[in-house]
């Protein structure tokens, strides 16, 4: 932990946790709504909001860029790379059962 880091109150973490749980519940509820083509947009929006909460609060990425930003960016790039490979595999598969 950084020596110059301020200690956030525990209530802030509890509220963030409750918001993450609420967003998870909204995501589960949206799965049953039948949103057609808007389903992935809604779910990715919810996931991006959850990721932003985790990045800013738990990873403490608010403030000026630092070495932590480089590692968070590298992890995010790696995640996008793996998703891209999975999407390429899924898009190019042949012989799906009817």
Residue ranges of the domains in the chain? 10-91
Torsion sign, CA atoms 27, 33, 34, 35: negative
Interatomic CA distance for residues 21 and 30, integer angstroms: 14
Flag whether pLDDT at 2 surpasses 60. no
Q: What pLDDT is stored for residue 98 in this prediction?
A: 60
Q: What pLDDT is stored for residue 33 in this prediction?
A: 93
Q: What pLDDT is stored for residue 62 in this prediction?
A: 76
Flag whether pLDDT at 86 surpasses 80. yes
Task: Write out the DSSP string of the chain.
Answer: --TTPPPPPHHHHHHHHHHHHHHHHHHHHHHTS--GGGHHHHHHHHHHHHHHHIIIIIS---SS--HHHHHHHHHHHHHHHHHHHHHHHHHT------
Q: What pLDDT is stored for residue 24 in this prediction?
A: 96
Mean pLDDT of the chain: 84
Name the pLDDT band for 73 (thresholds 50, 70, 90). Answer: confident
Flag whether pLDDT at 16 surpasses 90. yes
Flag whether pLDDT at 22 surpasses 90. yes
Task: Write out the DSSP string of 76-92.
Answer: HHHHHHHHHHHHHHHHT
């Amino acid at each position: 932990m950084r020596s110059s880091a301020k200690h956030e109150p525990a209530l802030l973490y509890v509220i963030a946790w409750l918001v993450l749980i609420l967003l998870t519940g909204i995501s589960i509820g949206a799965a049953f709504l039948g949103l057609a083509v808007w389903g992935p947009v809604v779910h990715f929006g919810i996931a991006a909001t959850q990721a932003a909460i985790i990045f800013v609060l738990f990873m403490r990425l608010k403030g000026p860029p630092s070495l932590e930003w480089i590692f968070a960016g590298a992890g995010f790039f790696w995640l996008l790379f793996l998703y891209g490979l999975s999407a390429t595999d899924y898009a190019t598969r042949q012989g799906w059962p009817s």
